[in-house]
């Protein structure tokens, strides 16, 4: 029944012409490792529960810290996705700041705690706001800074920071792909003893590519980072990564203990995540990193960016308007005249040729293209552009008849 009724109701996320959300495909090596991990059915909470899961997590931590060129003692936790990884980073930051102010949140809770400041761009992702709400930080406490025309944090508008501040930055705007100017912002935060968290769901992988590494200059100055392996890296779904410069702060915020738990000298993964029982998602992460290696990851990221630029160039040649600079894997496009953009997208989505999403960008409806799959070829891009042209033609014809 599942196959008969369920399979026709799935989307081709692993195909080469799915551009709707920032969803990666699945590398064959990582998918095979995922299947083996499911057969093993390991609980990755403690080393004693699964020595192989603990060992592979340790390797992944070491490899990722090296790949992203982060401080050597940076700790890693594996969670379901960037939404939860962001929560982990902000939780570690919140508790660390409160401890500096003489307040132990784990002992005294938050009622009566010293007030904190949260500074973020108006272009911050919705998952950041959701994580803050879960942490008990409301919209009224947020200090929102303007973004520039590309969706980057406007460094000139940064308010004075202090030791009560968490500054939230972004590696990869969800619409434009833009990167915040990390170096000046992080240096200002360090001077004020503020905590910096970088939401790098898909964009942090730019750090691992020679042609895009400059976009991430200064991220090593931050205190915590969140990133997905199931986006740009193309690991299977359910693989988020939380990273924290201060290992003790991460363990203090997320760890738990009880007399029945058997901790050891090896990695006990539950100390770095909100969950205790959890699947051993480090197995497929290890397979993705191992099979690609540094050179393969460099090539994968460069290829996604190249396909995005191809998409933009071919659409521009067909008379579509590209609404933002293409710096990574995201493309924002609209029709001319703008009135037919929404209908063009409807027809495009119904065509079965490719699938893209929508966004509101600087007051205008846009078609949002995310190039995330390792299988997307040059031919896939050209075929998708032809589908854009056909959909726009139909939309224009309908408008002429009305």
DSSP conformational letter for 171: B
Find the mean pLDDT for residues 345-363. Answer: 95
Alpha carbon of 369 to those of 23, 117, 174, 321: distances in Å? Answer: 11, 34, 10, 13
Q: Where are the domains of the chain?
A: 14-22+301-401, 28-289
Alpha carbon of 150 to those of 206, 225, 333, 361, 372: distances in Å? Answer: 17, 22, 13, 10, 20
pLDDT, position 13: 87
pLDDT, position 14: 86
CA 216 and chain centroid, separation: 14
Find the mean pLDDT for residues 311-320. Answer: 98
Number of CB atoms found within 10 A of residue 61's CB: 21
DSSP conformational letter for 3: I
* Cα torsion through 30, 34, 35, 41, rounded to 10: 160
Position with higher pLDDT, 387 vs 23: 387
DSSP conformational letter for 2: I
d(CA 94, CA 77): 17
> pLDDT by residue (tens digit) across 163-205?
999 999 999 999 999 999 999 999 999 999 999 999 999 999 9
Q: What value, to the nearest 5°, has the Cα angle with vertex 49 and ends 283 and 35?
A: 30
Find the mean pLDDT for residues 144-170. Answer: 97
CATH of domain 28-289: 3.40.640.10
d(CA 285, CA 281): 7
pLDDT, position 54: 97
How would you classify the pairing of strands 195-199 and 355-361? unpaired
d(CA 180, CA 199): 10
Instruction: Give the contacts of 5 (CB within 8 A, at least 6 positions apart).
Output: none
pLDDT, position 140: 87
| Proportion of the chain in helix, strand, coil states, percent, rounded to 5 | 45, 15, 40
d(CA 110, CA 53): 35
Alpha carbon of 245 to those of 101, 213, 224, 330: distances in Å? Answer: 20, 20, 6, 29
H helix runs in 68-212, sequence order: 82-100, 105-108, 126-134, 182-191
- Domain 14-22+301-401, what architecture? Alpha-Beta Complex (3.90)
d(CA 372, CA 225): 20
* pLDDT of 138 strictly over 90: no
Find the mean pLDDT for residues 30-51. Answer: 96
How would you classify the pairing of strands 165-170 and 117-121? parallel
* pLDDT of 401 strictly over 80: no
pLDDT, position 231: 95
Averaged confidence pLDDT in the chain: 96
Find the mean pLDDT for residues 49-64. Answer: 97
DSSP conformational letter for 358: E
Instruction: Give the contacts of 115 (CB within 8 A, at least 6 positions apart).
Output: 141, 164
Find the mean pLDDT for residues 330-337. Answer: 95
* pLDDT of 325 strictly over 90: yes
d(CA 371, CA 359): 15
pLDDT, position 303: 98
H helix runs in 101-239, sequence order: 105-108, 126-134, 182-191
Find the mean pLDDT for residues 368-382. Answer: 97
pLDDT, position 55: 97
pLDDT, position 399: 76
> pLDDT by residue (tens digit) across 203-226?
999 999 999 999 999 999 999 999
pLDDT, position 313: 98
> pLDDT by residue (tens digit) across 250-293?
999 999 999 999 999 999 999 999 999 999 999 999 999 999 99
pLDDT, position 375: 97
Find the mean pLDDT for residues 357-366. Answer: 94
Residue 398: pLDDT band with limits 50, 70, 90: confident
| Percentage of the chain lying above the pLDDT 90 cut | 94
pLDDT, position 10: 92
Q: What's the Rg (C-alpha) of the chain?
A: 22
How would you classify the pairing of strands 165-170 and 195-199? parallel
């Amino acid at each position: 029944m599942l196959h008969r009724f369920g399979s026709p109701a799935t989307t081709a996320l692993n195909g080469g012409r799915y551009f709707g959300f920032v969803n990666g495909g699945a590398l064959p090596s990582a998918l095979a490792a995922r299947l083996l991990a499911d057969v093993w059915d390991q609980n990755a909470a403690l080393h004693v529960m699964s020595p192989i899961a603990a060992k592979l997590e340790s390797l992944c931590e070491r490899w990722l810290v090296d790949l992203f060129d982060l401080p050597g003692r940076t700790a890693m936790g594996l969670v379901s996705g960037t939404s939860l990884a962001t929560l982990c980073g902000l939780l570690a930051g919140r508790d660390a700041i409160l401890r500096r102010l003489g307040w132990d949140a784990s002992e005294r809770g938050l009622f009566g705690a010293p007030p904190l400041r949260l500074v973020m761009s108006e272009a911050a992702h919705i998952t950041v706001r959701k994580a803050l709400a879960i942490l008990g930080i409301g919209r009224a406490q947020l200090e929102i800074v303007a973004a520039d025309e590309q969706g980057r944090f406007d460094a000139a508008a940064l308010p004075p920071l202090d030791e009560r501040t968490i500054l939230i930055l972004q590696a990869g705007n969800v619409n434009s792909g833009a990167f915040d100017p990390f170096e000046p912002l992080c240096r200002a935060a360090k001077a004020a003893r503020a905590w910096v968290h970088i939401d790098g769901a898909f964009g942090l992988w730019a750090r691992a590519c020679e042609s895009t590494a400059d976009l991430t200059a200064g991220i090593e100055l931050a205190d915590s980072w969140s990133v997905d392996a199931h986006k740009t890296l193309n690991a299977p779904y359910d693989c988020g990564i939380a990273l924290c410069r201060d290992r003790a702060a991460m363990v203090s915020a997320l760890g738990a203990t009880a007399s029945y738990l058997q901790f050891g000298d090896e990695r006990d993964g539950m100390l770095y995540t909100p969950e205790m029982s959890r699947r051993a998602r480090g197995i497929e992460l290890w397979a993705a990193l191992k099979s690609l290696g540094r050179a393969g990851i460099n090539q994968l990221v460069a290829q996604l960016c190249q396909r995005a630029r191809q998409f933009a160039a071919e659409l521009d040649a067909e008379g579509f308007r590209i609404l933002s600079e293409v710096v990574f894997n995201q493309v924002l496009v609209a029709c001319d005249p703008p009135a037919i953009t929404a209908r063009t997208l409807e027809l495009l989505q119904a065509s079965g040729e490719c699938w893209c999403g929508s966004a509101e960008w600087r007051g205008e409806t846009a078609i949002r293209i995310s190039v995330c799959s390792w299988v997307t070829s040059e031919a896939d891009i050209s075929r998708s552009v032809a589908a854009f042209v056909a959909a726009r033609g139909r939309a224009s014809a309908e408008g002429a008849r009305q």
